[in-house]
Amino acid sequence: MQNAVALPTPKDQLLFTPGPLTTSLAVKQAMLHDAGSWHWEFNGKVKAIREKLLSIAGISRAQGWEAVLLQGSGTFGVEAVFLTGVPPEGKVAVLSNGAYGERAVLMLQHARIAHAVLRTPEDVPNDPAALDQLLASDPAITHVLAVHCETTTGILNPIQEIGAVTRRHGRTYIVDAMSSFGAYPIDFEACGIDYLISSANKCVEGVPGFSFVLCRRAVLLATEGWARSLSMNLLDQLKGFEKNGQFRYTPPTHAILAFEQALAELDIEGGPAGRANRYRENHRTLVEAMARIGLSPYLNPAVQSHIITSFPYPNHPAYNWTDFYSRVAGKGFLLYPGKISKADTFRIGNIGRLFPADMRAVVYAIREALVEMGVPVPPAQ
Ligand SMILES: *Cc1c(COP(=O)(O)O)cnc(C)c1O
């Protein structure tokens, strides 16, 4: 009888998702080790990763910035900023045009933190003028949160304009850059950012296991005594790293080893600007190839990021998402369901270890799947 463990491993499907995403072989191989979480060797890696994150972001400790790593997915990082950084009487304004803005609102409800929400439709960027009015009329607001790339649609929000308004009113600025950090150069000073949150398994191309918060040291130190959570207290997490170099509780050791390699690869690619070039090319290739089979993006190109693209369903009775998804998956490509409330869409991510040839290949598979289903597509050119 054959042992299931000994069967050859089929090739992994390529992930056209917003994370976790397809990683390089070297990133996966970096995890073939057991690291002692208290040992100086591992602590040295954590220290180096915190430094490298700052340098890739174009900021430094000398200029007053810190990088704090936190166990858990990206959501934990955003929630930790609220639970650590908002004072007992604080109030947060959330700019929302998608599911991640709405998730931030849910966090504030759960933490019983006062908040106000400024919504725009899912295909319309955040409105800095509306924020200006809100901050002028509500002095109780202490913090503003914006989502850079709202992964729900792939829309890009104007974080610099929002930052200018926030700064002018003297409020603390939090940016959820989960799906954009590493793939868009972000000018922290020009945007007036106080806290920026991202995670290991998005555009840095590591594996899931932790989030990281890049923040102004003075802003974080001023939160002493405010924390509403023990494990998600970013100030204590920072103090832990500074005391003995360790995470306070069990670290995601393998994810850290993978991340060290992922950061080196990001550096080799030319940092966020270099990676942006590849993702932009992926996006351009995707949109062109999809146009040739009669499918065009949901968003106006002026507000579309190069992170992920939403496409409305083909308008034909023979189309159904589950069948379509399974057929494309069977050909080796994992698409991502849509999340837009008022339109039926699916999403294709451009991020991860993917190249323009992969984008052409996924569209070829999509074309075949549609033909098999009896959904008409324009003849191949
Ligand atoms: C992915 C994502 C999150 C949440 O990250 P998880 O790792 O799934 O918890 C938050 N905000 C944005 C914009 C994201 O893309």
Mean pLDDT of 177-184: 98
Same-domain check for residues 160 and 274: no
Compute, in angstroms, the gap from residue 318 CA to the centroid of ligand 1.
33
Mean pLDDT of 273-287: 98
Same-domain check for residues 247 and 284: no
- The answer to whether residue 47 scores a pLDDT higher than 50 is yes
Mean pLDDT of 240-258: 96
Burial class (CB within 10 angstroms; exposed 0-12, middle 13-18, buried 19+) of 373 = middle
- The answer to whether residue 303 scores a pLDDT higher than 50 is yes
Same-domain check for residues 108 and 223: yes
Mean pLDDT of 226-236: 98
Q: What's the chain look like in SS3?
A: CCCHHHCCCCCCCEECCCCCCCCCHHHHHCCCCCCCCCCHHHHHHHHHHHHHHHHHHCCCCCCCEEEEEEECCHHHHHHHHHHHHCCCCCEEEEEECCHHHHHHHHHHHHCCCEEEEEECCCCCCCCHHHHHHHHHHCCCCCEEEEECEECCCCEECCHHHHHHHHHHCCCEEEEECCCCECCECCCHHHHCCCEEEEECCCCCCCCCCEEEEEEEHHHHHCCCCCCCCCCCCHHHHHHHHHHHCCCCCCCCHHHHHHHHHHHHHHHHCCHHHHHHHHHHHHHHHHHHHHHHCCCCCCCCHHHECCCEEEEECCCCCCCCHHHHHHHHHHCCEECEECCCCCCCEEEEECCCCCCHHHHHHHHHHHHHHHHHHCCCCCCCC
Task: Establish if 123 belongs to a structural domain.
Answer: yes
Same-domain check for residues 149 and 276: no
- Domain stop point among 217, 246, 267: 267
- The answer to whether residue 250 scores a pLDDT higher than 60 is yes
Identify the CATH number of the domain in which residue 219 sits. 3.40.640.10
Task: Establish if 7 belongs to a structural domain.
Answer: no
pLDDT at position 11, please?
Answer: 80
Residue of higher predicted confidence among 208 and 12: 208
Mean pLDDT of 262-271: 97
Task: Choose which residue among 103, 145, 199, 259 to substitute to test ligand 1 binding: the one with the highest number of ligand atoms within 8 A of its C-beta.
Answer: 199
pLDDT at position 340, please?
Answer: 83
Task: Establish if 381 belongs to a structural domain.
Answer: no
- Ligand 1 pocket residue status of 147, Cβ below 6 Å: yes
- Domain stop point among 267, 283, 310: 267
pTM: 0.96
Q: Please tell me the residue having the least CA distance from ligand 1 atom 5.
A: 74
Identify the CATH number of the domain in which residue 334 sits. 3.90.1150.10
pLDDT at position 194, please?
Answer: 98
- The answer to whether residue 240 scores a pLDDT higher than 60 is yes
Q: Please tell me the residue having the least CA distance from ligand 1 atom 14.
A: 178
- The answer to whether residue 262 scores a pLDDT higher than 90 is yes
Mean pLDDT of 56-71: 98
- Ligand 1 pocket residue status of 125, Cβ below 6 Å: no
Mean pLDDT of 329-347: 92
Provide the domain count of the chain: 2
Same-domain check for residues 232 and 340: no
Compute, in angstroms, the gap from residue 349 CA to the centroid of ligand 1.
14
Same-domain check for residues 79 and 158: yes
- The answer to whether residue 172 scores a pLDDT higher than 50 is yes
Task: Establish if 378 belongs to a structural domain.
Answer: no
- Domain stop point among 240, 267, 294: 267
Q: Please tell me the residue having the least CA distance from ligand 1 atom 2.
A: 178
pLDDT at position 1, please?
Answer: 44
- The answer to whether residue 22 scores a pLDDT higher than 60 is yes
Same-domain check for residues 64 and 132: yes
Compute, in angstroms, the gap from residue 176 CA to the centroid of ligand 1.
8
Same-domain check for residues 192 and 302: no
- The answer to whether residue 53 scores a pLDDT higher than 80 is yes
What percentage of the chain has pLDDT greater than the value 70? 97
pLDDT at position 7, please?
Answer: 56
Mean pLDDT of 194-206: 98
Same-domain check for residues 151 and 291: no
Same-domain check for residues 349 and 249: no
Task: Establish if 1 belongs to a structural domain.
Answer: no
Task: Establish if 8 belongs to a structural domain.
Answer: no
Segments forming the whole domain that contains residue 195: 30-267
Cα 61 from Cα 16, distance rounded (Å): 35
User: For 114-131, how does the pLDDT look when each residue is reduced to its tens digit (9 = 90+)?
Assistant: 999 999 999 999 999 999
pLDDT band at 8 (very low <50, low <70, confident <90, very high): low
- Ligand 1 pocket residue status of 18, Cβ below 6 Å: yes
Q: Which atom of ligand 1 is nearest to the CA of 98?
A: 13
Same-domain check for residues 180 and 263: yes
Mean pLDDT of 74-84: 98
Same-domain check for residues 260 and 280: no
Mean pLDDT of the chain: 95
Task: Establish if 4 belongs to a structural domain.
Answer: no
pLDDT at position 5, please?
Answer: 57
- Ligand 1 pocket residue status of 46, Cβ below 6 Å: no
pLDDT at position 2, please?
Answer: 47
User: For 347-371, how does the pLDDT look when each residue is reduced to its tens digit (9 = 90+)?
Assistant: 999 999 999 999 999 999 999 999 9
- The answer to whether residue 375 scores a pLDDT higher than 50 is yes
Task: Establish if 330 belongs to a structural domain.
Answer: yes
- The answer to whether residue 142 scores a pLDDT higher than 60 is yes
What percentage of the chain has pLDDT greater than the value 90? 93
